[in-house]
Every structure is written in structure tokens, then in C-alpha cells.
Amino acid sequence: MAYLLFTCLVLYVLSICSASPPNFVLFFADDLGFGDLGCYGHPSSLTPNLDRLAAGGLRFTDFYCTSPVCSPSRASLLTGRYQTRSGIFPGVFYPGSIGGLPLNETTIAEVLKPLGYATAAVGKWHLGYGANGTFLPTQQGFDQYLGIPYSHDQGPCQNLTCFPPDVKCFGLCDVGVVTVPLVHNDKIKQQPVNFLDLEKSYSDFATNFIITSVKKNQPFFLYYPSHHTHYPQYAGTRAAGHSLRGPFGDALFEFDSTIGNLIATLEQMGVINNTLVFFTADNGPELMRMSRGGNSGPLRCGKGTTYDGGMREPAIAFWPGVIRPGVTHEMASTLDILPTIASLAGAKLPPVILDGFDMTDLLFHKGKSKREAMMFYPIDPNEKYGLFAVRLGKYKAHFYTRGATHSATTPDQDCSDFAVLKVHNPPLIFDLEADPSEHYPLPLDKRPDIQAVLVQIKKVKAQFEATMIFGESQISKGENPDLEPCCSPGCSPKPTCCHC
């Protein structure tokens, strides 16, 4: 009843009154840069389906994730809270990690469950596995899950096939741990995973989920965090060799093709006009992979850094007939997705401190973004240093900068790990509209206007940090090899015996 009324309110602009609450499909790419999609200007990427969504939907130019690495960024997306609150730092989870996203955190799936939504996650989880799968998606509001529960380079890949007919995976993956498993709900289906069939399994699983939910007349939430385009690149026969861009381009095209399949399914099932499709990515490109990694376009540096290249991402919102096509320069974040979905569904917000804002006015072209500032934490946030940078309006101030191994090999010396922690007092200030590449710090001398901006940024930073309570670090709880997922529990010698 509540949602019926609410959907009527939301859709009054269209003078239609739909009885069904909207569905949500959330795509999350991995290590994808601001400059990687055709619709964001990449000259040789092949992304026809994302380009179509961008042309028919709202494309963001100033959209941020919350961390330049994976696990913390995912925690923020699913909870609407900076990763410092949930304790998802420093760095990322490993196969034998003891911790995980605390089960008392409320995910988007858990926000929607009380309204009768069907929920599924497919792909890369990376918010913990834990003893007997304690931290898997099925413990966090998802009815179903199919995927590798962490990064697909977090297991030996040297002898695995990444491209047909039998091209071995390129580069060094983690050794001394189990090979990466394919997990269905909480059961291991395959170990090691077969990369050539993986995307098809995901596409089929997601397609079935949509069809089944529509047939049951159930609103649904599909969360699809893809392994693409994280290293090592892989693709099956339908995508390999199809792009002009080599392994990265083929992997991206394979993900784009699944997006196309799922949009076609939404159309065929007659629910495309009642579904918000949202696409973005977890962090910037892993530049150290050189031409096999992503591209941050005009933005500075990439993964691992708090320059914009590490955290500003492509983002597209698509909802035919409801979201008018266009481009927005308003600031928004992955933090804002939970409150937006809650608002559209008419769901209750979790009773915790949220860092996100409802974006519905922005999506419906009825107003500006409620977000005025974006906070930049490094991969290893701590209370002593606090924020590395703050963006307020078009200005970004860096209090600390540091390069990262993930961003090594580019000509810009400030991106690589040789650029050690630098304190900036006064902070470096950039005008991101005039200088999106953060190349030319604004002078403070004889510039009372810029000095006033700095005072304002310092005030916003102090207010934010005064209320930030760091959660217990989940990643510092360490690792226990016994917890690594194994398809043959109790076998010996582990990890090599975990092979099914």
C-alpha cells in the first residue's frame, strides 16, 4: 500500500500510476577508469550497450566512489556509509580473511527485503568469506549468489586459461592459497573457476533471476559486481578478439555484452520502463598493468591514489520514460545509491549514520545534487591522518598526497609508489572544472577568494571528522588459511587438494 502510493507520487510527472514498485539493476565494474568507455571518450573500446544506456539515460561527469581500492568501495556502495564506519580498511580482504563486512551493517538488499523484493548478487563480492562462508551475500540480504567471492587474481592463475582456445592468464596472481572458486549461495560449485565460461554463467544466472522474479510478480534487485575489468583479463569465445583494444578491450566488451543481454531481458519481460538500471565502478584503473589496464582519461593517476583518477568513475542512470537523457555535472557518489533506491522503493532507511543523499531530484531533473562535498580516504585510513583530500563544490584540497604501486609505470612521477607520503600545508587546491587533471595548484598569495575557499574546506573537513567514529578494522583481524574456501573440506595437502 505504502509503495503503491509512493510510486504514484514518484511517477505523477508522467501522469501514470504504476501499481508495482520499481526494480533495480546495479552494475559495478572493477578497476575501470574514467576514460575507459566509448561514451566517455575512449577511441578503441567496444561498449555499444553502455553507450546506448548513456545516450538514453543520465550520464554523470562528477561521480565518485569512496576508496581507490575494492573492498572498502564495495562496503560503501552497499551500506551508504564511508568504509571507516564499517571497518573495511586497510586494503582489501583475502581468501583466508577472518573478518568481513559486519553482519549488523544494513545493505541495499536488506533495505529492500521487508518490501518483498527478490534479491540476487552475481560476480565479485569481496566483502569477506569467513568461517563456513559467514560473510557471503546470502548473509547480507541476498536470496541468491553466484560468483567468485573475492578478486580473481587472489589465487594461482598461472596454469589457468583466460582466453580461447588455451591462452594462459597473463601475469602473476597470488600463490600459496587455494585457486579461485565459483560459489553458488554458500556452496562451492567449481574450483578453479573456468574463466572461458564464467561470463555466460553469470549472464544466464542473472537472466533467470529477472525472468523468475517477473513471473512471480515480485519486484527485484539485481546487484552485478563484475570481475571485469580487473586483472588478469579474460573473455570467452563470444568476446575474445572482438575489440580493437586487446585483452582489456575484450574483457570490457564481454561485460558490456552481458549488460546488453540483461537489458534485452528487461525489455522482453515488459519491465524495462519500471526498472532503474545504474552502472558505475569500484575504483580507478590499475595503471601498473600498462596497456592491459584501464585508463583514467584526463584525470590524474589511478587505482590506489586519492587523485581523481583513483576515485572518479563513469556512472550512468537509465530508466526509459522516467529519466530524461542528458549529462549532469552535479557531484554524486556510490554513497548516494542506497538512499536513492530506498526513496524510490518507499523503503525505510537503516537507523544508522548515513553518508549518502537521495539523488531522485537529480535523476528526474527536478533539482540539484544534495551532495556538496566528497571525502577522500587513502587505502589505509587511520584516525591520526584522517582525510587525505576534500572536494567542496568545484574545489579539491589535498592535505596529503601519495602515489601507489597500482598506479606505477605512468610518466607522471606523482602517481607511482616512489612518490611517498607528502604533507601539504597549506593544502594543494585545484579547481576541478578548469583543471580536471589536478595539474595546476591555485596560488593562495594575494587571492583572498581562494583563501576563503580553503577556510570553508577546512571547516567542512573538521565538522566531518569530528563525527567520524572508526569501526573496528575487519581487515586487521588477519588471515587463517583454514578459512580459505575449499571444495573438498578436510583434504590434504591444502591448498593444492582443493580442486574439483
Ligand X SMILES: *[C@@H]1O[C@H](CO)[C@@H](O)[C@H](O)[C@H]1NC(C)=O
Residues that bind ligand X (CB under 6 A): 102, 104-105, 131-132, 156, 158-159, 175, 267, 270, 272-273, 320-321, 352
CB of 12 to ligand X, least distance (A): 16
In 55-203 the beta strands, taken as DSSP E runs, fall at: 58-64, 118-122, 144-147, 161-163, 167-168, 182-184, 187-190
Work out how close the CB of 117 gets to ligand X at its nearest, in angstroms, rounded to a whole number.
Answer: 20
Nearest approach in angstroms of CB 281 to ligand X is 26
Q: Residue 134 or residue 451: which is nearer to ligand X going by CB? A: 134
The three grid cell numbers given for residue 286, joined into one nine-digit string: 590499475
**d(C-alpha 84, C-alpha 95), whole Å:** 21
Give the nearer residue to ligand X in terms of CB position, either 68 or 320: 320
Residue identified by cell 509503495 is: 3
Nearer to ligand X, 72 or 314 (CB): 72
The helix or strand, by DSSP H or E, that contains position 234, with its residue range, turns out to be: none
The nearer residue to ligand X, 161 or 273, going by C-beta atoms, is 273
Which of 473, 47, 84 minimizes the C-alpha distance to 251? Answer: 47
CB of 313 to ligand X, least distance (A): 26
Q: How far apart are the first and last CA of the chain?
A: 49
Which candidate in 39, 42, 65, 70 is catalytic?
70
CA distance 261 to 207: 8
DSSP-assigned beta bridge partners for residue 225: 28
- Measured distance CA(205)–CA(431) in Å, rounded: 45
Residues paired with 327 in a beta bridge: 59
Answer whether 409's CB lies under 8 Å from 287's CB.
yes
Least separation, in Å, of the C-beta of 351 and ligand X?
A: 9
β 373-376/389-392 pair status: antiparallel
284 or 485, CB closer to ligand X?
Answer: 485
How far apart are CB 120 and ligand X at their closest, in Å? 21
Selecting among 42, 126, 152, 398, the annotated active-site residue is 126
Nearest CA to 206 out of 218, 223, 194 is that of 223
Name the minimum Å distance from CB 317 to ligand X.
16
Nearest to 115 by CA among 275, 278, 348, 319: 348
In angstroms, what is the minimal distance from the CB of 345 to ligand X? 20
* DSSP per residue, 259-297: HHHHHHHHHHTT-GGGEEEEEEESS---GGGGGGS---T
Taking CB atoms within 8 Å and a gap of at least 24, the contacts of 409-413 are: 409/287, 409/288, 409/290, 410/287, 410/301, 410/302, 412/300, 412/301
Say whether 70 is catalytic.
yes
Q: Give the nearer residue to ligand X in terms of CB position, either 137 or 403.
A: 137
Nearer to ligand X, 99 or 102 (CB): 102
Euclidean distance between CA atoms 394 and 448, whole angstroms: 17
Residue with cell 520514460: 321
Q: Which of 28, 32, 10, 31 is nearest to 20 (CA)?
A: 10
Nearer to ligand X, 368 or 499 (CB): 499
What is the residue-wise DSSP string for 318-377? E-TTTSPSEEEEEEEEGGGHHHHHHHHHTPPPPSS-------HHHHTTSS--S--EEEE-
Known catalytic residues?
70, 126
